[in-house]
Amino acid sequence: MKIAPHSKLVFIGDSITDCERARPVGEGLFGAVGKSYVALVEGFLGAIHPAHAIRVVNMGISGNTVLDLKARWQIDVFDLKPDWLSVMIGVNDVWRQFDLPRQKEIHVSPEVYERTLGELVRKTRPRVRGLILMAPFYIEPNRGDAMRARMDQYGAIVKKTAARHRAQFIDTQAAFDAVLAHMHPNAIAWDRVHPNITGHAIIARAFLQAIGVAV
């Protein structure tokens, strides 16, 4: 496994990461890490590599965009001093352009998204042992769908940013696409954004495979 024993692994993102995690820090007893893929990752790490004793922290906040992450980066990333950091952001950056199209002041353009994500990654990469960037996704197999096409654009930005800063990229959209060849989107997420347990398992599996854990 790529993550060394006794490392601290912090996840940051939006509602897909959040999923009822504890405040102010999602770590500890009684489901403090929430009900998302983060909990599944923590569970499998403990089951498969118990001697590693990986410390898992969930810092997702529902509704966040990359601009929200920037505003809380010092407290929710740097102050926590992670050894490894996983970032998955972009769903709301795209979604607000479609469900609130007239409120343009809250939209995050591809240019702002790329610039802000790049800034965060650039100043964080030297401070962590490992940095993972996960693509945002839309659980829709039709690539011609307008929101799916825009989400793919933002995912490409994440991939480019990861390559530029020597971070690890996880193609979360591709992981969903493989399952969507056999399942309807409604069986994974009623709104094509917020996954059920199957959807969270897809994300967790992609993450674990990326760090060298066989699942």
Residues known to be catalytic: 15, 191, 194
Question: How many Å apart are CA 173 and CA 179, to the nearest integer?
Answer: 10
Q: Which of 33, 37, 36, 31 is nearest to 170 (CA)?
A: 37
Rounded Cα distance between 21 and 28, Å, is 10
CB within 8 Å of 131: residues ≥ 6 apart: 84, 85, 87, 121, 124, 125, 165, 167, 168
CB 155 within 8 A of CB 135: yes
